[in-house]
Amino acid sequence: MSYPPPTGGYGPPPGGYGGPPPPPPGDRPKTYLVQNILGILSCIPVLGVIGLIFSIQVNSKWDSGDFAGAYDAAKTAKILGIIGLVLFIIGVVSAVIYIVFMIVGFAMFGMASTTTYSY
């Protein structure tokens, strides 16, 4: 005895059962890898490492079909990348200012110690 197919309910998912995932809803999101690598070189490298982990997750989630997860990872990587990049720039500017002040200070100290007095 043969039973008729069930009626109602949901149909098969797009692409059928076990088929390829549906096409992505847009372009692959940006990974912000360079900004997070520079964030590792900043004064708070932990933020750069966490951002780097999210940057790496973007491509792996996208390739596995988790498009929403890839967009979320890209959003977090962007935020941490911007913070890391700003901290990196602040560190570089601070180092340059420190070096300039040291050169000026040594130059002034050198000029003051080579002054001769006549009696």
Do the beta carbons of residue 55 and residue 28 sit within 8 Å?
no
- Which residues contact residue 59 at a Cβ distance below 8 angstroms, ignoring those fewer than 6 apart? 28, 31, 70
If we measure between CA atoms, which residue out of 84, 81, 76, 35 comes closest to residue 58?
76
User: Dihedral (C-alpha) 69, 71, 75, 80: value to the nearest 10 degrees?
Assistant: 60
Q: What is the pLDDT of residues 13-63, one digit of tens each?
A: 665 666 566 667 788 999 999 999 988 988 888 999 999 999 999 999 998
pLDDT of residue 106: 84
Q: What is the pLDDT of residues 56-108, one digit of tens each?
A: 999 999 988 888 899 999 999 999 999 999 999 999 999 999 999 999 988 88
pLDDT of residue 65: 85
pLDDT of residue 49: 94
Give the integer Cα–Cα distance in Å for 51 and 33: 8
**Domain-by-domain residue ranges, the chain?**
33-111
